[in-house]
Amino acid sequence: MSENFSIPTPGDVIAGKYRVMEELGRGAYGVVFRAEQIGLGRSVALKTLLPAAFLQLDIVQRFHREAQLISTLDHENIIKLYDYGMDESLLYMAVEYVEGRTLGDLIKEEAPLEAEKVHEIMGQLLSALDYAHEHGIVHRDLKPDNILLLKSRPEEGVAEEVVKVLDFGIAKLVRGDQENNNALKTLTQDGTVLGTPHYMSPENIVGDSVDHKTDLYAVGIILYEMLTGTHPFEAQSPSAVMVRHLKDDAPHLPEPWTHSAFDHAVQRCLEKQPFDRVETAGEVLKLLKSEPPKKVQRAKSTDSQIYDRTTQETAEKKQRLLLAVLAILGILLVSIGWKLWTVQSSIRAEEEVVVAPPQVVEEQPEVAPEPPEADQGLTKISELENPDAGTETPGFEFEDVEPTQPTEPTEPEDVAVETKTPPKPREKTERDPKVAEKAETVKISLMTNPSNASVTFDGVPVGNSPVERQVPKSDDEITVRISLLGYKNEVVKIAPQADVSREIKLQFDRIKMFD
């Protein structure tokens, strides 16, 4: 690099054919100018590298790579490359010059966007990506600020705003002529993390191998932002955003887009595992134009040059299906068992109500038979107290007893009257089973932080937290197991002797998302 290097200024001529007109923008390693191509009189965007860039070998390599990759693409929605090279110590690249605003600006100013506008922009973006992916090129840094929208001229009869995809600086060539493209492939080895955190796919974050589906993940985030004006995994720092990419499920779109074709497309694009995502950009476009099916059938990968995971995908799908079936069976068994227990408890309570009252009625005639006269009943009581006076007359016995026990004649009369009224105990026993039935069960309320954890009672799945269940009252403890991806399993013992309400804070655990 020459020691007298200087940044171009308006009026300077680069490589004898580009006259600098004005500076358009500046970054850490480069400056972009609007220039006029001498002889043709057309405007171009002239990208140049600053002196600091030459201290970073990979920056220079990316500059060359972007020029080479764009030169292989010819699509109306991808910025066109006219020329690139070096003028003395200045690296430059001349690309198509367009005037407009970025999609990021549009989202900030107008989101949530109308459905018609979203279809217009996404249709062009997906067309450009489908073309690039067919040519083996993955953008890897797709975001609203790299999507330019320029106003079309009415006479052209095209869309109101034309999409241009920019900045292929960290793009990756995933297939093509090995001999001719080795230099490009070595610049993006597995394990290299490149991109913008808000739009990076999980496999890119962990340094795993990436393919065209990393661009489709970014499409899902951009689509969510266009319809809501917010990011689906927003957080306070870039590292926190990446953690949410790895462990949080994609949120559904709010009304009126919940369960719409837009929502379905977002969910398919934001699957954590690449082999679970929608296959191509063209397929995303089809999803946007149709209502989502009631049951999603995930298509298997067909590109054997990129994926060799068919066996793993099939095994994981079978495992998920088996777990789902077992969970459903467990819930059914618990429900049936609970119903049977409730019915049996009700039957036992009814049997106690029917049998108990007749026993009281049958014993009453034997204990206190109805006497023909009140005097005879009194005489029998006296005979029991004085067995030696069997030959005495009833009147004599009455006169003997009267001075010492004047209240005894009234007590037998009261007892005799009470034994003749059995309906009252029957009414009480008929109400008792309801009280007893309520006392036979207790309520267990269980919450976790975070929520949506899988919960089992004695090995039987009961749902995801928060859960609330009625269980038989017992002195025996219930083993409650709580599990959630990314957190340590928790096991607690609960004795269902009374209503229980408990909140359990789960401990974060490191996870490895990809093998």
d(CA 245, CA 197): 9
Residues 252, 151 contacting (CB under 8 angstroms) = no
Residues near 312 by beta carbon (within 8 Å), at least 6 away in sequence = 275
Cis geometry, peptide bond prior to residue 466 (ω within 30 degrees of 0): yes
Decide: helix, strand or coil at residue 15: coil
DSSP 8-state secondary structure symbol assigned to residue 406: T
Backbone angles phi, psi at 217, to 5 degrees: -65, -45
Amino acid (one-letter) located at 403: P
d(CA 467, CA 452): 9
Closest by CA to 134, choosing from 31, 282, 247, 10, is 282
CA-angle at 40, arms to 37 and 41, nearest 5° = 65
Which of 105, 130, 141, 458 is an active site residue?
Answer: 141
d(CA 326, CA 122): 41
DSSP 8-state secondary structure symbol assigned to residue 257: S
Please give the helix or strand (H or E) that residue 73 lies within, else none: none
58: annotated active-site residue: no
d(CA 31, CA 53): 11
Cis geometry, peptide bond prior to residue 256 (ω within 30 degrees of 0): yes
Count of alpha carbons within 13 Å of 215, Cβ hemisphere only? Answer: 30
Decide: helix, strand or coil at residue 490: strand
Backbone angles phi, psi at 448, to 5 degrees: -130, 155
End-to-end CA gap in the chain: 44
Annotated binding site: 47
Annotated binding site for ATP: 47
Q: What are the residue numbers of the active site?
A: 141
